[in-house]
Amino acid sequence: MDGRGQLHFHTRASALLLLVLCCAALCWGQQDAVEQKLPVSERQFQSAMALRNKRGASTKDLRHAAALLIASAGVKLPPSLNVTAEAMSNISTDAANSQYSSGLQFVGQTNVPALKELARVYEAGEGVAVDAAIAHDLFKRAAELGDPDAQADMAVRYSLGLQPTSSNEDMLYELTTPNTPEALLNYFFAAAGNDTFAQMAMGYRHMYGVDVPQSCQAGLLYYNPVAERVVEAARYPGSLPQVERVRLNYKSAGMRRPSREQEVLHYQWFADLGSVEAQRAVGQIFSHGALRNPEQALRYFRQAADGGDADAVAHLGHMYANGVGVDQNNETASQLFQAAADAGNPNGQFGLGYMHLTGHGMEQNHRAAFKLFQRASEAGNAEAWFHMGVMYLNGWGVKPSQRHALDCFTVSAQVGHVLGMYNLAIMHLNGRAGLAAADAKASCQPALALLKKIAEKGGWGGLVQQGYEAFMDGDYEPALLHYLQSAEMGSELGQSNAAWMLTHGYGYEGEHAAQLAITLYQQAAAQGNHEALLQIGDSYYYGRGVPTDWSHAAQVYAEASKHRVAQASHNLGFMHEYGAGLPQDLHLAKRYYDKALEAQPDAFVPVFLALCGLWLHSWWLSVKPYVPDRLGFVKQRLFVLPQAEQGIVQKFGGDTETT
């Protein structure tokens, strides 16, 4: 190249470099201009969030973030945030909580997202001291400014009577008298703002008539948008949370639960030793469990597949078909599904059927797809049942049949298949479930029940899981709060576990605990938890949270006994034996003791002892008239309820042997 050519080359290169630098400067300038156009409060909020989301954020970072949030939210902190113990002791608990304020002042422009984030900061104590009162007032301010999320949070607090305690208390919150009108008002506006929590809470309340008119149609309006979000999420593998549905009891309270990481390490140890079953199990944990790691799942599935495990081969097929942990490849997926199906694996049969149905990786063939789905469904594969329903509904490869489609969707729904439940609900709503189209009520109720189940499978259903994990870690107040939030959304398990904790003094032992517990048990019983009826009966029997009423306790026990609750039958036997709120009748007492054993055969020992006591009681009643008066103290002590309980028995007019 001559000198003139070199000169032209360098000139062009310099011009190009200058152009690049000018463009970069222009972009930076525009970005800076955009940032400058943002309100100061928004820039402060974004800076705070960048610090809070920073990987390995230090205490200094969190403190700086809190300061930025305070400025962004327009909050002025008072010199002292505490109410003195003397002032609190001079007024009742409810009055104290109604007057208690953090003393916050709101000045200048308020950034609502910053308000909510700052509330969470004070709840968790991230960069600041934990202060539930400040968090309460921040959420309240955000709710007043129309934020749906904050309105839902305040609705929970009003509904439960949840108030922050003074900062010198061990507990962050205490239960006071609920404010139902304020709760409903906040729930209504939050739901109107498309808040999922509020929509579920309002849907549940209308479904069962909890403080609002019972209305199936209103329940549908609230639950349907939530269910649609869950259905959309269910289309993507691994998008829905895995929840352990554990009912709390004394046994679980005394257990030490290993962490999920420890459980995985246990299985990994066997997997790394070459156990094919453990390799497949670890692969499933990493692909569908709580600790999801697609790369690790792929590794262990490959190991199990190399060991001849057909189910692992099918799982690999699904990973290749969906591009999870590997590059998406339909041809490889089809080959893996074929190998698993040839080995008789239902998961592989379904996968191969799906490839035939969609024409991915092979020629589309609806008849072949249907046959493969049939084979997989015989082994109970829920996906196969659902896709057979779709094929019957659309007439793909089979003669169209709404009746068969309904049957297929029903089977898939019974094992919790989200899309199966949703399609079944829609068929009910459209009058295609064998019910008269005009019978709107008959169609509405099953559809509403299905939509509620779907809604509870969403990410917000993880509150139950969080409650269980906190309980097993011994963090009882957070556990109770999680269960109470879940109960507000209509979760029967949340209601039952929150009630159990309140009844047994876990997380809170204040004066309102027993009253809230019986309310929660009543709500759980209305949703079909027959064991909750036993707890309600006990509450009336012992006067926990309600006035003592043995007659009413007997009515509740009788309802529970109809549903084969053994303890309820045993209690009715006892009440008939002693005439406690019921006419004394030893024959009926024996019948109920026998019924308890029939309902729970492993209760042989306590029932046997009760029957022995009943026989002795019968003998005593036969010889008692012949006992000399000088042995009156014996008459007053044998087979007689304690003196405190005698007054209760006499009050309700039972034919009771008390002398």
Q: Over the stretch 359-372, which tens digit does the pLDDT of each residue have?
A: 988 889 999 999 99
Residue 211 forms part of a structural domain = no
Cα–Cα distance between 380 and 387 in angstroms, integer?
13
Helix (H, G, I), strand (E, B) or coil at 178: coil
Query: How many domains, in total, are found in the chain?
Result: 3
pTM of the model: 0.83
Domain enclosing residue 579, as ranges: 532-659
Residue 49 forms part of a structural domain = no
Residue 304 forms part of a structural domain = yes
CB atoms within 10 A of CB 591: 15
Q: Which range (44-58, 435-449, 556-570) has the least confidence?
A: 435-449
Q: Are 646 and 658 in contact (CB under 8 A)?
A: yes
Domain limit, last residue, from 322, 342, 358: 358
656 in the same domain as 565? yes
518 in the same domain as 544? no
Residue 355 confidence (pLDDT): 94
626 in the same domain as 597? yes
553 in the same domain as 658? yes
Residue 557 forms part of a structural domain = yes
Does residue 125 register a pLDDT over 60? yes
486 in the same domain as 545? no
Residue 354 forms part of a structural domain = yes
pLDDT tens digits, residue range 225-280? 999 999 999 887 777 877 878 899 877 666 666 555 666 666 666 666 666 777 77
What the block records as the tokens of 232 is: 């959309």
611 in the same domain as 586? yes
542 in the same domain as 520? no
CATH number at residue 486: 1.25.40
Domain limit, last residue, from 358, 380, 413: 358
Does residue 172 register a pLDDT over 80? yes
Mean pLDDT calculated for residue range 149-173 = 87
541 in the same domain as 640? yes
Mean pLDDT calculated for residue range 286-303 = 76
CA distances (Å), origin 156, targets 203, 205, 259, 592: 15, 13, 30, 42
Cα–Cα distance between 559 and 535 in angstroms, integer?
12
CATH number at residue 313: 1.25.40.10
Domain limit, last residue, from 327, 358, 389: 358
Report the range out of 303-317, 321-335, 602-616, 624-638 with the highest average pLDDT.
Answer: 602-616
**Residue spans of alpha helices (H) in 235-381:** 250-253, 260-272, 276-288, 294-306, 310-322, 330-342, 346-358, 366-378
651 in the same domain as 569? yes
614 in the same domain as 543? yes
Residue 274 forms part of a structural domain = yes
Residue 658 confidence (pLDDT): 33
Helix (H, G, I), strand (E, B) or coil at 173: strand
Look at the alpha carbons of 322, 323, 328, 333 in this order and tell me if their dihedral is positive or negative. negative
Cα–Cα distance between 219 and 221 in angstroms, integer?
5
